[in-house]
Structure formats: C-alpha cells, structure tokens
Amino acid sequence: MPFISSIQRQTDFNVFDSNTPIVIDNGASYFRIGWAGESEPRVIFRNIVQRPRHKVTGETVTIVGDHDPALLKYFDCTRSGPRSAFDNNVVYQFETMEYILDFGFDRMGATTEIDHPVLITECVCNPVQSRSKMAELLFETYGVPSIAFGNDVAFSYKYNQQQGVCAKDGLALCPGFNTTHVIPFVDGEPVYEGCCRTNVGGFHVTNHLKQLLSLKYPYHLTRFTWEKVEDLKMEHCYIASDYASEARLFQKEPEQAEAKNRYWQLPWVPPPTDEPPSEEEIARKAAIKEKQGQRLREMAEAKRSSKINELENELHGLEFLLHQLEQVDESDVLSFLSETGYVNRQEIESARNKVMQSLRKAKGEPKNEQAETEKDDLATSEKYSLINIHDDMLTEEQLNEKKKQLSLKSMADGRQRLKQKRYEEELERERKQQLEEEKRLENPDLYLEQLHARYKDLSERVDQQKRLKTNGGHSNGNNVSGGIGRGERLNAAQRERMRLLTTAAFDRGKGEDTFGARDEDWQLYKLMSKDYGNDDDEEPDEDETELARISSRLQDLDPTFIPKLEAGTNQPAEVPRVRPLTKEDFQIVLGVERFRCPEILFNPNWIGVDQVGLDEMAGVSLRRLPYMDETLEQRLTSSILVTGGSSLFPGIVERLEAGIRMIRPCGAPIKIVRALDPVMDAWRGAATFASDSQFHMQTFSRQDYYEKGEDWLRRYQLRYTL
C-alpha cells in the first residue's frame, strides 16, 4: 500500500526481543507508538487518513497523518477529505483504523506479523463493541500474540504519581480533543462509577475560533486553515479568571485591551509609489517626444510631396489630352475618346477641375470662391440644360428628361440651402462663443455667476415643461406631479383624438355600423390616426439644447458643478472611494477571541452543548462516588491533576480552583496541579507500565478472546498498581 509521509521508517524493529511490548497511545488527535521502557515514542502523527487520486495516473494513494502541502498539487483532494476513525472519543471506523495501524507498524519497521504484545489506550468506559472490534483487528490482521487495554487518563495520573506530582487519592481532569473526562482515583486505581464526561474539547475550541475569525475577516477565509487556527489557539488563547470582568475590560478600557491584543501579519507587498519625475527625466522625455514629432512631420511632408507630384502629373496628362482633343477632327472624336476611356469633353474637364482642387488643397492654397461659384453655375447650366427651354420646343423624351432634371435640381437646391443654413448657424455659434469668451476673460467671476443663474432658470423651465407633458397641466395640489390616471396625462393632440373617437361613436348610435361608407368618414379616420405630438419621438427643444450646452460649459469651468439628473433616470449609487490597501488590512487581530473560545470548556452551552462545565464536573464526579466519606472527598480535592492537550491554556489552574472552591464547603482543602507534560505523560505512563515484569499478567491472548467471549471482555479491567 503506497504511503505518502515525511516520517522516517525505523530500522531496529528486529533488534527488540519478542517479549518487548509495543505501546500505542491511540488518541483522537494524535497517534503515538513506541517501545515499552523508552522515554519517548518512536512515531507520532495526526490520527487522520486521506485517500486522494493522482491527477495524471488516477492511482489512489493513502496519506496518513501530517503531509507536505506541496504534494497536494499532484492529487485531486476535492472528493476525499481527511477522515478520522473516532466518533467523539470512541473508535467506530475500523477501516480507517486499519490504515492508521498499517502506517504506524510500517513506520516502526515491521515487515511481517507483529509478534510483540501490544498495550493500546482507549477511552473511559469504552463500549464493548469497539473494544471487541479492536481486539479482532489486532489478532486477525496483524497476528498480535496478546493485548492489553488501558485508559490514557489513568496512565497519565499514575506517571505523575510516580513523579511525586499527585497523591494516590485524587481527581484527574482531562480536557482532551473531543471530550473532557473527570476520573476519581482511590488507592491509585480509577473509580469508574464516579467518572464524568462532557462532549466538549480542544476540537470545539479550534472550530469556534475558526468561525469567529471567518466572520470577522471574511476576505481572508483561505488563510484560516485548520492547522493554522490550531497554532493560533495554542499560542495566543488563555483562560480568563473572570470572564465578565475580562470582557468588560475590552469594552471599556481600550488602552489595557490594546496591550492584550495579538496580531498576525499576513503576507503583504506595499504598492509601488509613484514618485514625481526628476527634471532630467522630464527633459529626456521631452527630447524623445520632439524627436518623434520631427520624424512624423518629415514623414507627412514626404507623403505630401509625393501626392503633389502625382496630382501634377495627372493634371498635365489631362491638359495634354484636352490639347490633343482640340486638334482631332470632329469625325474622329468618338474613336479618340473611346481610346482614352472618357465619354465626352465635359467629363475630361470635370476630372481636370477635381484634380486642380485637390492640388490646391494639397499645396495649402486658399480657395477661389468666385471662380468656384462661376464654375459651379456653368456646371449646373450644363447639367440641367433643358430646364430653361419651353415645353413646345421639346420632344416627348426631352420632356421626361426635363421633369427628371427639375426634380434633381429642386433636391440639389434644397441640400444647398440646408448646407448654407448650417454654415450660417455654425458662424453664428462661433460668434456667440467668441462673445462669451470675451465676457469670461473680462470678468470670470461675474460670467460664472450669470452662467449658474442661466442654468437654474433653464432647468426649472425644462422641468415645468416635462411636468406639463406628463400631467397634462394637472398637479396633486403641491405643485408636484403626483399619482394621477392615464386620462389626466394625455396631451392636447391625444385629447383631440379621444374627442373625435367619442363624437364618431355617438354619431353612429346603436344601429348598423356604416362607418367608412362616406368620404367624410375617411377624413375623420385620417385625423384620428394621425400622430399628433408623439412625445417619445420629439427632438429636444431649444431650451433643452441650451441647457445641455450650459451644463457642459459649467462642467469645464467649475469643478464643483454637479449637473441635475433628468426626471425618471435612476439615481446612481454613490461610488465608494477606493483607498490603497495598507499593512493593517492584512493584519489579523486576536482580541476577545483569545479568551472567548476556551471559555466553552466552562460554558458548553455557548456552542449548543447542554452539559456542565469543567469546574462543575468535579462536583458531579464527587457526588457519584459509591461511598460517601468526608475525609475521602477532602483527600480527592487535595490532589487534583489536570492533564490533556487543552490543559495547556494559561490560567486554567486558577480558574478551576476558583470554580471548585465555589462548590466545596468553606475551608475545604483544594490543590490543583498541572501534569508534567499533559500531552506525552499518557504514553510515558503506559510505556512504564508495560515495562514492568508483571505486565504479561494483565494481557489476554487470542485464545482467551475466543474462549471467554464478549461478556468476559466487557468486564475486563486493567489494574494499574502492579
């Protein structure tokens, strides 16, 4: 089975005698495996399994525990997330557990069956189904000769008892990964009748912190991976001695709260600053620009010269052609013109005139308007030669041609008049602009004030016109267009059409419909169907055009001017001012989250777990003892050991002491100590226990498992005092 891991494989597996037990601390968070009698486990990894497929080959690989994130780019992990064999603190996915045991024994160096006794930890009061499945897995799959099941909290307590940290009688409080346990110990043995469990642990603290940070910084969600949030929790979180006063401090004492804040700086690259160019840079850019402009001017001059040469050659050719045409006999004119591609002399002269105009334009010479006018008149008289001839002197075909010439000439005259009108309007516009510019230069402030007054007057007038078009001259009593019906919004032309329709309907009465039988009916139909004053197709009137011009002028002259929006247009949403991102935008601030997340160990109802907190569990455990003895309770509370990964939070001992003191009689002795190593003491205690010569008396073999059955396995209990 292919494994991916950075954990080195041990090479001394065959060195150890077959009687040397293998010790496994099968925790919900981490899996630790090693040899009995040693002080440290050989292999430690996270108790999770992931089985992604390779993106190229499609091969399924097994990733157990920690892995290099860089390897994940080669695998498709979208359909295979990390899986655990635990439900709370009970093993129930034995297929996943088999992957974990395979990997653990493989890293220990085992190649064949495991011929060593195995001591493996389990949770308090482990269900017999889970214990039976685990024994069957070890016996049948790995060929283990004998097994012993023990409790990790008991091993940690016994190890610290041997080190003189706690007494024989005491309480063990273990806030673990998924659950929290309290176990009383009497004469060094756990009393399972008095144990207590709450389904809250370090996993829930990490998950709560991840949720809070995701809500606080939604734009940095990808940064809050489980591993990173776990590191933040262990590095910065603490237990407040009084949660209410600590929260009040963060609310009302910002200076003291600032001192308790912790900052996580995300990767951030400052944006490049645009410094003003130096004088040398400006001069260099100006020189480059001048050089480019000179080159463009030279190219344009060369192109102009080439075009002038081409036009002069073409003009000489046309003049030479006209000179030859004068010397040709009239009988040979048609054949001569057919060779040149022209129809008549007028076409050649027209081409010559166009070339002359283009040549003058290329040379930049002013137009000779009088000559142009005379030529245009001559060309017009030649083009419309039949207009001034009387109809009696023309044939039928010439009369038809005369009608065409009259139509063409009328259209040409109309276009010329329109062109002349536009030209005059442009001259008038330029004259007005020149006068306005003179006024502005004479007194800019007065000119701007007059322009604003003119804009205000025109805008009010245009708004009034639009209200009249919309309301038909009606208002809602406040001089504001209001909620009125369709009939009140009709303009004058539409009301006239409605009147005509009504009149026609009353004139016909209720008899036979004879509308259209008379000629006057069709005249009425034309009036009704005529589109009077379609407001949607009307062009803007003079006031609207002038208002647009003044608005554009004010925008050019007054930077503070904001034009009014037309009625009916949507108000644009205010564009947020974009500021450059700074270093503070990439900082994660841990404030109240530092003590708010671990507080769920004492108040599980904050996350929807309706159970007691860690301090109240001690009182529940004391009340569950099968024998009530005041001196025994005093001995138990005089030696309270806190172990487990979640006991590493600073302030947990002081908070527990304050909470337990509130449920105990006044003056009762209370002593709470933390384990020497809350994380590793369970494995060390198990390794010490397995190294004892009497350990083999506590194990059971495969023959015992199959002969004595499940009922015996249910009653199986390890004795921790050898």
Mean pLDDT throughout 685-708? Answer: 93
Using the predicted structure, report yes or no on whether residue 6 has a pLDDT greater than 70: no
CA proximity to 4, closest of 79, 59, 78, 86? 59
**Residue 214: predicted pLDDT:** 95
Helix (H, G, I), strand (E, B) or coil at 624: coil
The 10s digit of each residue's pLDDT in 354-395 is: 888 888 888 877 655 555 555 555 566 666 777 777 777 778
| Residue type present at position 472 | G
Report the relative pairing of strands 53-54 and 75-76 from DSSP bridges. Answer: antiparallel
Using the predicted structure, report yes or no on whether residue 4 has a pLDDT greater than 60: no
- Selected residue with higher pLDDT from 306 and 387: 306
Helix (H, G, I), strand (E, B) or coil at 324: helix
Bridge partners of residue 260, in order along the sequence: none
pLDDT band at 576 (very low <50, low <70, confident <90, very high): low
Give the residue ranges of DSSP H helices in 472-592: 492-508, 519-529, 542-557
The 10s digit of each residue's pLDDT in 71-120 is: 777 887 777 778 999 998 899 999 999 999 999 999 999 988 899 999 99
The 10s digit of each residue's pLDDT in 406-447 is: 888 888 888 888 888 888 888 888 888 888 888 888 888 888
**Residue 568: predicted pLDDT:** 45
Q: Tokens 């809350």 — which residue?
A: 678
- Selected residue with higher pLDDT from 266 and 566: 266
Percent of the chain residues topping a pLDDT of 90: 47
CA proximity to 150, closest of 556, 680, 686, 710? 686
Mean pLDDT throughout 623-646? Answer: 90
**Residue 626: predicted pLDDT:** 83
The 10s digit of each residue's pLDDT in 181-217 is: 999 999 999 999 999 999 999 999 999 999 999 999 9
Task: Please check whether residue 352 is in contact with residue 315, taking contact to mean a CB–CB distance below 8 angstroms.
Answer: yes
- At 607, phi and psi to the nearest 5? -110, 20
Question: What is the distance between the alpha carbons of residues 47 and 49, in angstroms, rounded to a whole number?
Answer: 7
pLDDT band at 482 (very low <50, low <70, confident <90, very high): very low
Using the predicted structure, report yes or no on whether residue 610 has a pLDDT greater than 60: yes
Helix (H, G, I), strand (E, B) or coil at 661: helix
Instruction: Give the torsion through C-alpha atoms of 507, 511, 513, 519, to 10 deg.
Output: -40
* Cα–Cα separations (whole angstroms), residue 63 to 14, 77, 227, 428, 611: 26, 11, 16, 85, 36
Residue partners of 65: CB distance under 8 A and separation at least 6: 5, 7, 31, 45, 46, 47, 48, 103
Rg (CA), the chain: 51
Long-range contacts of 711-717 (CB under 8 A, 24+ apart): 713/128, 713/131, 713/132, 713/135, 714/128, 714/131, 716/131, 716/149
pLDDT band at 175 (very low <50, low <70, confident <90, very high): very high
| Residue type present at position 161 | Q
For 407-416, b/e burial (b = at least 16 CB within 10 A) is eeeeeeeeee
Q: Which segment, 147-161, 270-284, 528-542, is predicted with the most confidence on average?
A: 147-161
Mean pLDDT throughout 288-313? Answer: 90
Using the predicted structure, report yes or no on whether residue 677 has a pLDDT greater than 90: yes
**Checking phi first, is residue 240 left (phi over 0); if not, alpha (psi -120 to 50) or beta?**
beta
Structure tokens at 123: 């949770």
Question: What is the distance between the alpha carbons of residues 374 and 364, in angstroms, rounded to a whole number?
Answer: 22
Using the predicted structure, report yes or no on whether residue 486 has a pLDDT greater than 50: no
**Residue 537: predicted pLDDT:** 45
Structure tokens at 74: 């080669």
**Residue 242: predicted pLDDT:** 94
Q: What is the mean pLDDT of the chain?
A: 84
Using the predicted structure, report yes or no on whether residue 69 has a pLDDT greater than 50: yes
Residue partners of 308: CB distance under 8 A and separation at least 6: 359, 362, 363
| Residue type present at position 226 | W
